[in-house]
Amino acid sequence: MADREGVARQLADDLWLIDTQFQGERDIIASYLIAGLDGLALIDVGSAASVNALLAGVRAAGFDPAEITALILTHIHLDHAGASGPLVRQLPRARVYVHRIGAPHLIDPTNLIKSATRIYGSQMERLWGHMEPVPADRLEMVDDGDEIAAGGRTLRALYTPGHAIHHIALYDSARKIVFPGDVAGVRIEGVGYVRPPTPPPDISLEDWDASIERLDMLGLERLYLPHFGEERAVRQHFVELRRRLQEWGEIALAGMRAGENDSAIAADLAQAGDPGIAALAHGEVTARDAVRQYELASNYLMSAQGLMRYYRKHHPELLV
């Protein structure tokens, strides 16, 4: 079992956290490895730029990546699904599981890449690597309630839109845990501040609130967050996430009414959020490091852009 400083950390007899080391940084983007007699499963796989780090993490956990049979995605954003194509090409037994709304964008990622390139420009390749198509015959479309075999576990897909229209959480009812993707927000280990990632194009605060309620009603004992790690105070986590989503929505709406652009609203969000992040940093994580980690996991500018798009699309009446 690797220690916390390693790329693989054992969380249960059959479960490991794999740190994908986004941009060479620890504790930003996690993949979760489940091992069983039927093979290995990865839940979320990171970006195409971190494929080698991900596979190194699987080996550090003591396994051969060739044993991977399932790549299970909570959603198709580049930091969660970008590695899918390269992994399928390298791993002959692996199949990709994704909600059916997101599936066409993995089969043909052209529009996904174009959209991201408009945001990241010349930094696209450095940040996210080269996203490859997933062959249709290697892909399984998932709907709400479907059960997925993952190593020796059975995970139920729960449709949880809000962060993304194609988002699912993966519920292990036998253990009362869930792999929630980004619908449970960002909470970096060593800090504990809960921050909602609200990037474009399809944020819905109403859907997000309903998805949080759905998960909260399960009486969960643990969350396994992609950003980042294990969370045991589940009820408190959801309370804070809901409160902060409301606060961020109010900040964005006030900025839009005042005629602010996305950069100004991002600065408003940072002014509201960074002091709380810095204040909670402890142990080996300095206040400056904590602020930087959260910005790497979910930057304010994209969050501002997502909220602005939400209000223009869903609530233009509130802007007058």
Phi-psi region of 195 (alpha: psi -120 to 50; beta: other; left: phi over 0): beta
> Using CA atoms, how far apart are residues 310 and 165, in angstroms rounded to an integer?
12
- Indicate the DSSP class of residue 13: T
Assigned domain for 229 exists: yes
CA distances from 64 to 39, 49, 313 (A): 10, 20, 46
CA distances from 214 to 11, 158, 245, 267 (A): 25, 9, 16, 32
CATH number of the structural domain spanning residue 43: 3.60.15.10
Assigned domain for 147 exists: yes
Tell me which residue range forms the domain holding 188.
8-234
Tell me the pTM.
0.94
Listed as own residue / partner, the contacts of 261-264 with beta carbons closer than 8 Å and 24 or more positions apart are: 262/301, 262/304, 262/305, 262/308, 263/301, 263/304
Assigned domain for 248 exists: no
Assigned domain for 135 exists: yes
Assigned domain for 247 exists: no
- Give the residue from 192, 269, 289 showing the smallest Cα distance to 232: 192
Assigned domain for 271 exists: no
Please tell me the total count of domains within the chain: 1
CB 182 within 8 A of CB 163: yes
User: What contacts 54, CB < 8 A, 6 or more positions away?
Assistant: 18, 20, 31, 42, 45, 46, 83, 87
Assigned domain for 286 exists: no
Burial class of residue 174 (count of CB atoms within 10 Å of its CB; 0-12, 13-18, 19+):
exposed
> Using CA atoms, how far apart are residues 35 and 70, in angstroms rounded to an integer?
11
- Residue type present at position 123: Q
Centre a 10 Å sphere on the Cβ of residue 293 and count the other Cβ atoms it contains: 23
Name the residue with tokens 């399984």: 140
Tens-of-pLDDT digits for all 320 residues of the chain?
334 445 899 999 999 999 999 988 999 999 999 999 889 999 999 999 999 999 999 999 999 999 999 999 999 999 999 999 999 999 999 999 999 999 999 999 998 888 788 777 777 777 788 889 999 999 999 999 999 999 999 999 999 999 999 999 999 999 999 999 999 999 999 899 999 999 999 999 999 999 999 999 999 999 999 999 999 999 999 999 999 999 999 999 999 999 999 999 999 999 999 999 999 998 888 999 999 999 999 999 999 999 999 999 999 999 98
Assigned domain for 203 exists: yes
The structure tokens listed for 164 are: 């993304």
Task: Determine the 3-state secondary structure of 152 from DSSP.
Answer: coil
